[in-house]
Chains A and B, each alone.
Chain A
Amino acid sequence: MFHWLEKRPFLFSVGVFLVIAFAGLIEIVPDFAQASRPVTGKKPYTVLQIAGRQVYIKDSCNACHSQLIRPFKSETDRYGPYSVSGEYAYDRPFLWGSKRTGPDLHRVGEYRTTDWHENHMWEPTSVVPGSIMPSYKHMFHQNADLETAFAEALTVKKVFNVPYDKPGMPKVGNSKSDFEAAKKEALEEAKKITADMKNQDVKDAVNRGEIPEIVALIAYMNSLH
């Protein structure tokens, strides 16, 4: 029955490619839909928030925490409004996660605060008795990697046209020589966060011009809403 096709290997290959490409198309085309564009008011992450996001990925928070609220009443009651795809427009990669050992964090910025995160990351059971989350004390001593965060922001601006430096959007600059300015900006942002924190070592570090990981992570957590 397929004798004719089997005798023409090139044509057969093209046919196979078309059939498989169709499946790919079904997956790719929706990404260009209006619903996948950034939602109104969505801003790209600041350099400090990207540094926090990198800490989040480095310490594998996404292994236990999801960032996707499904449209079920039981979920929206606990975590807030359900997620829509346009909210992840600036997430590279997205951190939906696949498993909830801990609660969802997609809107954690709406109902947890800087001082709460500070207590919680230092010793989770001090605020959530029975929590099995380990403490992340090292984040209070280690400094966040601002260079990499800056490089990521600059890259996505140049490669993916992420609207940095547009009116009302975070600043990152146009070349790597703008790093010092971006770092200053990040320090200003960090100071606003440490004003709500109690740990004196962290406050001192920021005053010295360093940014501990915990400050970057809290900036990222507070941006999630």
Chain B
Amino acid sequence: MSYVIEGKTGSWEIVVGLEVHAQVVSKSKLFSGASTTFGAEPNSQVSLIDAAFPGMLPVINKECVVQAVRTGLGLNARINLESRFDRKNYFYADLPQGYQISQFAHPIVGEGTIEIELSSGETRKIGITRLHMEQDAGKLIHDQDPTKSMVDLNRAGVALMEIVSEPDIREPEEAGAYLRKLRQILRYLGTCDGNMEEGSMRADVNVSVRKAGEPFRTRCEIKNVNSIRFVMQAIEVEAARQVEIWENGGEVDQETRLFDAARGETRTMRSKEDAHDYRYFPDPDLLPLVIEQGWVDALKAALPELPDAKRTRFQSDYGIPFYDAGVLVAEQSVADFYETIAKGRDGKLAVSWVTGDLFAALNRTGKTIETSPVSAEALGKMLDLIADGTINGKIAKEVFEDMVETGEGPDAIVEKKGLRQVTDTGVIDAAIDAVMAKNADKVTEYRSGKDKLFGFFVGQVMKETKGKANPALVNDALKAKLDG
């Protein structure tokens, strides 16, 4: 293992498993028709079912089932044709029913795998234990009144997928890579927007430490960590805390902890003694969820191309390196942008423009690929202008910057600024003659063997033609004249 904690008594490895709560992208909630839009007025998206009024009953939303099954398929996981819903009972003000409807004993998705890539270039497979559907809770707001807490039930009943990994993770970096890869897959599938800041993806982190070859030791669960960076930090500090306890002859207690990012430490939230008894039992309001293999197969056939497959295809279709392909497929929108440009054009040239000039421009202007001032079509057209000799690579940079600034198309800019490449040999010859006349001494030097000066003459001719001369034509004509 590359990541070890060196303690007084030797080396320790860490064992990590992640439980990710991913909010399902769906128009309405898991068991009600209320909308799921983020950021609406408090309690404006609450049905009588979500507020658990007397006599209200849940009815499963098919769209959420579709999303869960698609996610399972995207994780190469087993789809369970029969799954069940259970009630997880506890009291809290954000939980109107007094229970969360979840899938405890019979989840809709079973074992699967995710392949992650580390910065070393090495890849690893992380096992998925299961994926199940459950309801999200509402939200308590504590800063509206000095003595009261307020409840917003907009989120209550929204569908979540809980995706549980095997305890296969051995490094903080692997945890980060796992979360990034999982988020990437969810976003490709369109089953979760993966937005950790808005809470639509949250992670519970299970951490334990052990000496090499030992069985697992007691683990602690760090609840609700809301960024990838914090997950990695939390693992580091929690593992260090546990090593210290073991090495001082103590015993790690199985408990639920919170990560305090500001202080860089984890703290007890609930000890084992205070653990809830959730009194799980099958929800008698819902029948077992039975789906058919044919239906699953149809969903599978309609899945979009996922990042790993796309990366491989980009390599072979566009002849670009593995690394570049990885950069492009990290976000589906970037991959799509690239592919719009690369299709039927020079794939290598396209990748250098996208990951070079375009990314730099987006960075500089604070935009994203979705809000890019230069559309994929426009950038493609610009590459066409290079390919057909209308502009050269140098002028292209100027055209591109103008496109970023004005949002105009490359044709219009070339016309407006008169940037069309000069291919008229008469004009080029005249420019060469003028340069040679102005620099008679250098011509003599060149002709007496100082052929390094060739570059100087090229530069001068380009300057004379305001950069618009076709460089190949300049080269040929210059060589002929100087050597003649």
Question: Do the two shown chains form a genuine complex with each other?
Answer: no
